[in-house]
Chains A and B, each alone.
Chain A
Amino acid sequence: MLGFAIRRILMLVPVFLAVSVIIFLMIHMLPGDPIDNLLRIGAGPDQRAALTEKYGLDRPLYEQYLYWIGNVVQGDFGNAIVQRRPVASLIGQALPYSLTLGGLALLVSTVLGITVGIIAASFKGSWLDQGLMGGVLFGSMLPNFWIGLLLILVFSVSLGWTPVSGARGWESLILPVVTIGLGGTALVARVTRVAMIDAQGRDFVMLLHAKGVHPVVIQLRHVLRHALIPVVTILALRIGWILGGAVTVEVVFARPGLGSLLIKSLNQHDYPVVQASLLILAMAVLLGTLLGDLLQAAMDPRIRDNLK
């Protein structure tokens, strides 16, 4: 298991490098020259050349990449051109907010989604199943940012229960978490329900009934464990979704975080920050798949044995 984990992490290295090249190249296709934002009005061409040289923008592309990735590996993401601070500190400041929001949203959607999925699958075809799945599906179809605005309107503006925006205190987390959680819950509930229904129909369930095991125990201790394997896989692959949701929601609620940082830097053409934020998001996605694989192996003895 440990060997597998190490091998799996080593396999991530080339993927990570490939992703970093793609991100690097995409960033260099971005229109707009960040130097323009830096130059004072009326600055001459020699000032521009000096700045270009300072940020290494005149060197060949591959040299720029190697220089950048070399520093990144050492934890140095360079300096933000427009925001004039080390990128690492900008990200370090934003990341905790995004992690709290994303983590809470993931937790809420997992717990709620699995619960809803189990109930729906256990009463498959009943009005309860149809009602729950209908409600969940409906919730997942509404645009994220619109739900956010709607919630602000009801709970902050009309009722005054929660802060409108910002990131002060735990109350400010409620609405953003609910907003992201709605979509996540729908995804998890849908996958759980299908996986549970699939597992319910397998042969071993009949033997459990024949052993006289209580149906609730069968559902929770046996069927759910089988169902969780695909759920974990899909959830891990879709961690990016939750992060993606965070991007929108951070902007709607004017919360600091990776999402707002990314949008702000995109608008300001602040290359190094965009590059670093995307790289961090990509890493989160890759780590998600890694976590999924490891969890899968931990949960399924057949997979564990295959690895040996």
Chain B
Amino acid sequence: MTVTAPVSGLLPALRRSAPVQALASWKGGVAGTFLILVVLGALFAPWLTPYGFDVQNLPGAFQAPNLSHPMGTDEFGRDVLTRILYGARTSLSVSAVAIAISLFCGMVLGASAGYFGGRFDRAVMVVVDLTWAFPEILVALMLVAIIGPGTTGTLVAICVAYLAQFTRLTRAQVMALKSETFVEAARGMGASNAAILFRHLLPNCLGPVLVAGMLATGDAIILEATLGFFGLGAQPPTPSWGGMMSSGSGLLFKGPWIIMFPGLCIALTVVAINMFGDALLHKLDVRERVRTA
């Protein structure tokens, strides 16, 4: 005989309907469609554009947006749209993978801290609070400085920068759920700590934490771009959105389109992620819990 968590748990609800319902609302629909298009564009970049992302064409440099180059060309005559499509591969995958790792570590850390409490909890929270007080960009800058510029450095930096947030959120959720009757019941039935934690507690706080992860992916894209902008992200010739703006920032007068379009892409993607995340939160009815954490 097993005791299961209440069916009103957030994961089943999420799996069953929330993303679908979020897509059905007009905000979520617009945002979701845009995100799908960006991902498809990144995936199928080689087939979508006749140009290579790294083929220089110096005579054709600094072309303003025109029919054959809808977003213009950069200082080496490379097509900006092509570089944005390829750049999406780097920027999106680095941010998403980093957040996924960070989310996993944060959940394990936060759940165990919240569940076991005591000295372990206090130790974890001291470290978490310390990093949380520091702005993500500073934490990331430090780590990139240690590991060295590039994709790996950015990945680790984003991971660590958001770890505190996920740990805090999971911990708060687990602490709230810990004293619920169904957990007491499971314990009464002789379930082990691990079983209670992974079978009963984590599934029930997955919803808000996953949505927080999604929203953080938006922030991570900005962080990745900011590191790229400082020249610390993915190194040339690999295109990334932040990197494109870094090289373009000196050319603000000669070719504003070189930085405006990648920036617009970042902005729209982040806004879309937030809009979709918000629609999800609305459907899950946990907005205040995540937004103010």
Q: Which residues of A contact B (CB under 8 A)?
A: 15, 18-19, 26, 29-31, 137-138, 141-146, 149-150, 152-153, 157, 190-191, 194, 237, 240-241, 243-245, 247-248, 251-252, 262-263, 266, 274, 278, 281-282, 285-286, 288-289
Contact = CB atoms under 8 A, between A and B. Distances in A.
A146 B142 contact: no
A149 B134 contact: no
Interface in B213-249: 218, 222, 225-226, 229-230, 245, 249
Interface string B122-160: 000000001011111110011001101000000000000
Dominant secondary structure of chain B at its interface with chain A: helix
A266 B231 CA distance: 12
Pick the most buried of B141, B145, B259: most chain A CB atoms within 10 A of its CB. Answer: B145
B263 interface: yes
A286 B129 CA distance: 11
Contact of A194 (B137, B138, B218, B292): B292
Interface stretch (B35-43, B102-110, B264-272): B264-272
B226 A243 contact: no
Contacts of A19: 130
Contacts, number: 103
B274 interface: yes
Contact of B230 (A243, A244, A251): A251
Contacts of A15: 130
Pick the most buried of B133, B146, B229, B260: most chain A CB atoms within 10 A of its CB. Answer: B133
Given A245-B137, A252-B249, 13 more contacts: A19-B130, A137-B278, A141-B218, A142-B267, A143-B222, A144-B222, A149-B245, A153-B256, A194-B291, A240-B135, A247-B137, A266-B145, A282-B134
A150 B134 CA distance: 27
Contacts of B132: 237
A152 B260 CA distance: 12
A29 B146 contact: yes
A138 B278 CA distance: 12
A243 B278 CA distance: 27
A143 B138 contact: no
Contacts of A266: 141, 145
A241 B252 contact: no
B253 interface: yes
A190 B145 CA distance: 33
6 contacts: A138-B271, A143-B267, A149-B252, A150-B260, A157-B252, A194-B291
B180 interface: no
A152 B134 contact: no
B256 to A, nearest CB: 6
B282 to A, nearest CB: 12
The 3 closest A-B pairs by CB, nearest first: A244-B135, A146-B263, A244-B137
Given A152-B252, A190-B292, A240 B146 contact: no
Contacts of B222: 141, 143-144
Contacts of B226: 143-145, 248
A149 to B, nearest CB: 6
Nearest to B133: A285
A18 B249 CA distance: 38
A191 to B, nearest CB: 7
